[in-house]
Amino acid sequence: MYSQGLIGADGRTEESPEFLEAFQRRIDAEEKIEPKDPMPAGYRRTLVRQIGQHAHSEIVGMLPEGNWITRAPTLKRKAALLAKVQDEGGHGLYLYAAAETLGVSREEMTEELLAGKAKYSSIFNYPTLSWADIGAIGWLVDGAAIMNQIPLCRCSYGPYSRAMIRICKEESFHQRQGYEIMLTLCRGTPEQKAMAQDALNRWWWPSLMMFGPHDKDSAHTEQSMKWKIKRFTNDQLRQKFIDATVPQAEFLGLTIPDPELRWNPDKNDGRGGYDHGPIDWDEFWRVVKGHGRMNRDRLAARRKAHDEGAWVREAALAHARKRKARAMAAE
Amino acid sequence: MTETPTPLWEVFIRPRNGLSHKHVGSVHAADAELALQAARDVYTRRGEGTSIWVVPSAAITASDPDAAAEFFEPTADKIYRHPTFYEIPEEVGHM
Amino acid sequence: MTDQLFDALIELADDNLVLGHRLSEWCGHAPMLEEDLALANLALDLVGTARALYSLAAEVEGKGRTEDDLAYLRVEREYRNLLLVERPNGDFGHTILRQFYFAAFMEPFWSAAAAGSSDARIRAIAAKAAKEMAYHLRHSGEWVVRLGDGTDESHRRMVAAVDALHHYTDELFVASPAAEAMAGAGVLPRREAMRAEWDRLVGQVLAEAGLTAPDVPWPQIGGREGLHGEELGHMLAEMQYLQRAYPGATW
């Protein structure tokens, strides 16, 4: 789960016009770019940054949902949630591997994350306060992520595109899992339904922010679109998400916390769509810059796991060295 | 300080018997046994395989994309290697 | 007979759920990403087996209770799990050694049940669990060797883990009256019959890891009578919180 919007990589590049044109011709012909192929430095930098952020988002994203694994209310929900959070870890792993094909190591990327230098999706800096948050995350956050990830399966960079195909296949159960939790709560007791509404109230706006700033404020979208790293703009995807989600909320009998939300038949070239109220970008930037409720806790949890695991990683390497030495001595 | 990197392994999985092993991704592991287990735990969670190979990434020798022209283009004009190059009258039947 | 089968199934189910729950606490916090996925796989196996055993127990009991009633609505004195599996995770070394001790018992136990139980439903559960336990044994055993042999620090931590956990292992071989009755009836294997294989597996791995099993003059025993350590109550309080806070709700 993750969405776009934070990339912010510098796509500037200094190759000759001939080199860039030849590269662009390959991109325009929908050829995939593979790890050792010649590529502009800006393309490589943008990808390293985007895939790294995507991977970090998966890993940090394990924490808010992981917060409820030990409190899942039934054994079925416990198994499903554990499998889902485990998937996020797997997706982080596939993505780190894709980034590693560009010459950056997982250790380097991890260090950047732990040092607070790398970004990850801000949605994970909000706390999960009730079981309904697990439903809301699956429904809204994974729903938003799918909007972004499906086009990424066609990304011009081969290893990223292949990782995304695998991820999308595996994630297909995530949103359904979340929506089913919401549905069960909404059909349950009044307390449960209130829990679901409260979760929607808290997760709706952060979910819309996941798509990133409005196109007019998004500096790097154009170059990324040209290189076919990105296929749709932030606003296009956000609109698609809103249009898909509003009827799902109605089916649940829940109210989207936006008094200005209304159907506009002229939107989307006359196909119709929802107008929505203003997004609080001050809040967005505050959280991106590290001042959300959970930013510090999330990084502290990742650092703790990393630090406390160091002796295990060292021991495995030491044993491998010893074993090799013993095998050589025996020859 | 960057910690000592744990080696990278490429993972190949046979989806089912009768098919070749196919590259699916990579894992980090200190040794071959841990790499094999990691590959199992990461890449076969949905019954994707019946056999796994792990190969140290450093052990792979790859062709150079800069040499792609000399490696792969000379075969393009050798059309006599393909069955459609030869004309056989239809009456002869399938061959 | 029905009561005793129910009791014997609950003991096994509780072992699996409590250990699965403990492993699930690692999710997102493991020493490396690959191991995070591995621990979750182990946890999912155990929770899966627990569900099958609770469902069978509920069916045997015939009072309309469900797997969730059995897991979420019994208090700590009613839980019948081994003390070993409720031990807090500690560091990764503790967790992996606890897993190894458990799997070294359960793999032969489920294999024997799969081959010889007089109850087809148990044979089916056991056949699946035996394969899972074979992998748990392999995975945890390989790690015990690496950690015991790895660095001075990892060795020291594994010595501490053995010291902390070994005196819970005798309980693996203790049969409650229900387990004894089921062994007599050929429904479940006799627990003490696993002793030789467990000693062999554990002896081999500890030796390879450069670790020594301590003498245990006073083994810790009591889980099968609901006489637990203090930690289990906290675990259940967390696990059962929603079911207790909203009685009768559907999730």
Provide DSSP, C156-169: HHHHHHHHHHGGGG
**So what's the pLDDT on residue A9?**
59
Give the whole-angstrom CA distance, residue C129 versus residue C109.
10
Contact C37 A90 (CB under 8 A): yes
**So what's the pLDDT on residue B1?**
52
In A, which residues are within 8 Å of C50 by CB distance? 75
Would B88 be classed as within a structural domain? no
Would B86 be classed as within a structural domain? no
Would B42 be classed as within a structural domain? yes
Residue B75, pLDDT > 90, answer: no
Residue A1, pLDDT > 60, answer: no
Residue A3, pLDDT > 70, answer: no
Q: Which of A202-216, B59-73, C146-160, C176-190 has the lowest mean pLDDT?
A: B59-73
**A107 has a chain B CB within 8 A of its CB:** yes
Q: Which amino acid is at C108?
A: P
**So what's the pLDDT on residue A230?**
82
Q: If you average pLDDT over residues A59-79, what whole number do you get?
A: 98
- Asked if C180 and C139 count as a contact pair (C-beta separation under 8 A), the reply is no
Question: What is the pLDDT of chain C when averaged over all its residues?
Answer: 98
In B, which residues are within 8 Å of A94 by CB distance? 25
**So what's the pLDDT on residue A10?**
65
Residue A2, pLDDT > 60, answer: no
Predicted confidence (pLDDT) per residue in A165-179, tens digit: 999 988 889 999 999
Write the ipTM. Answer: 0.97
- The number of CA neighbours under 13 Å toward the Cβ of A191 is 10
**A317 has a chain B CB within 8 A of its CB:** yes
Tell me which residue in B28, B45, B64 faces A106 most closely, judged by beta carbons: B28
Which H or E element spans position B23?
Answer: strand B22-28
Give the whole-angstrom CA distance, residue C43 versus residue C61.
26
Give the residue from A56, A100, A311 with the most C CB atoms within 10 Å of its CB, the best one to mutate: A311
Q: If you average pLDDT over residues C74-96, what whole number do you get?
A: 98
Q: In Å, how far from its chain's centre is CA B36?
A: 17
Distances, alpha carbon C64 to alpha carbons A44, A259, A269, C248, in Å? 61, 47, 57, 14
Give the whole-angstrom CA distance, residue A316 versus residue A237.
44
Fold of C2-245: Ferritin (1.20.1260)
In B, which residues are within 8 Å of C38 by CB distance? 37-38, 41
Would B24 be classed as within a structural domain? yes
Provide the 3-class DSSP secondary structure of residue A157.
strand
Contact A319 B6 (CB under 8 A): no
Residue A12, pLDDT > 80, answer: no
Using CB atoms, which chains have 3+ pairs under 8 A with C? A, B
CA-nearest residue of chain C to A90? C37
**A327 has a chain C CB within 8 A of its CB:** no
Helix axes A295-330, C120-149, angle to 10 degrees: 80
Give the whole-angstrom CA distance, residue C133 versus residue C126.
10
**B6 has a chain A CB within 8 A of its CB:** yes
The order of strands in the sheet holding B8-14 is: B22-28, B8-14, B51-56
Would you kindly state where each structural domain of chain C is located, as residue ranges? Answer: 2-245
Closest approach of B42 to chain C, Cα-based (Å): 6
Predicted confidence (pLDDT) per residue in A301-314, tens digit: 999 999 999 999 99
Residue A121, pLDDT > 90, answer: yes
**A63 has a chain C CB within 8 A of its CB:** yes
Radius of gyration of chain C (CA): 18
Provide the 3-class DSSP secondary structure of residue B9.
strand
Q: If you average pLDDT over residues C155-171, what whole number do you get?
A: 98
Provide the 3-class DSSP secondary structure of residue A33.
strand
Coarse DSSP helix, strand, coil percentages of chain B, rounded to the nearest 5 percent: 35, 20, 40
**A84 has a chain C CB within 8 A of its CB:** no
Would B81 be classed as within a structural domain? no
- Domains: count for chain B: 1
Using CB atoms, which chains have 3+ pairs under 8 A with A? B, C
Would B51 be classed as within a structural domain? yes
Tell me which residue in A74, A75, A305 faces C30 most closely, judged by beta carbons: A305
**So what's the pLDDT on residue A148?**
86
CATH code of residue B43: 3.10.20.520
Q: Would you place residue A216 in the very low, low, confident or very high pLDDT band (cuts 50, 70, 90)?
A: confident
Q: Is A217 or C76 the better-scoring residue by pLDDT?
A: C76
Would B85 be classed as within a structural domain? no
Helix axes A158-186, A142-152, angle to 10 degrees: 160
Predicted confidence (pLDDT) per residue in C203-245, tens digit: 999 999 999 999 999 999 999 999 999 999 999 999 999 999 9
Q: Would you place residue A103 in the very low, low, confident or very high pLDDT band (cuts 50, 70, 90)?
A: very high
Contacts of A254 (CB under 8 A, 6+ apart): A182, A186, A196, A197, A200
Contact B38 C146 (CB under 8 A): no
**So what's the pLDDT on residue A236?**
92
Give the whole-angstrom CA distance, residue A122 versus residue A173.
23
**B70 has a chain C CB within 8 A of its CB:** no
Q: Which amino acid is at C30?
A: A
Contact C153 A315 (CB under 8 A): yes
Closest approach of C132 to chain B, Cα-based (Å): 12
Q: What percent of chain C has pLDDT over 90?
A: 99
Task: Determine the straight-line distance between the first and last CA of chain C, rounded to whole angstroms.
Answer: 34
Q: If you average pLDDT over residues A79-87, what whole number do you get?
A: 97
CA-nearest residue of chain A to B6? A317
Residue A21, pLDDT > 90, answer: yes
**So what's the pLDDT on residue A93?**
97
Q: Which of A168-172, A189-193, C197-201 has the lowest mean pLDDT?
A: A168-172
- Asked if C93 and C154 count as a contact pair (C-beta separation under 8 A), the reply is yes
Contact C34 B30 (CB under 8 A): no
**A315 has a chain C CB within 8 A of its CB:** yes
Q: If you average pLDDT over residues A56-61, what whole number do you get?
A: 97
Would B29 be classed as within a structural domain? yes
**So what's the pLDDT on residue C186?**
98
Paired tokens of A47: 């990808």
Q: Would you place residue B66 in the very low, low, confident or very high pLDDT band (cuts 50, 70, 90)?
A: confident
Q: Which amino acid is at C196?
A: A
**So what's the pLDDT on residue C138?**
98
Give the residue from B41, B43, B48 with the most C CB atoms within 10 Å of its CB, the best one to mutate: B41
Q: Would you place residue A7 in the very low, low, confident or very high pLDDT band (cuts 50, 70, 90)?
A: low
Give the whole-angstrom CA distance, residue B35 versus residue A220.
38
Beta bridge partners of A157: A33
Give the whole-angstrom CA distance, residue C204 versus residue C210.
10
Q: If you average pLDDT over residues C88-109, what whole number do you get?
A: 98
Give the residue numbers spanning the domain of B33: 8-62
**A106 has a chain B CB within 8 A of its CB:** yes
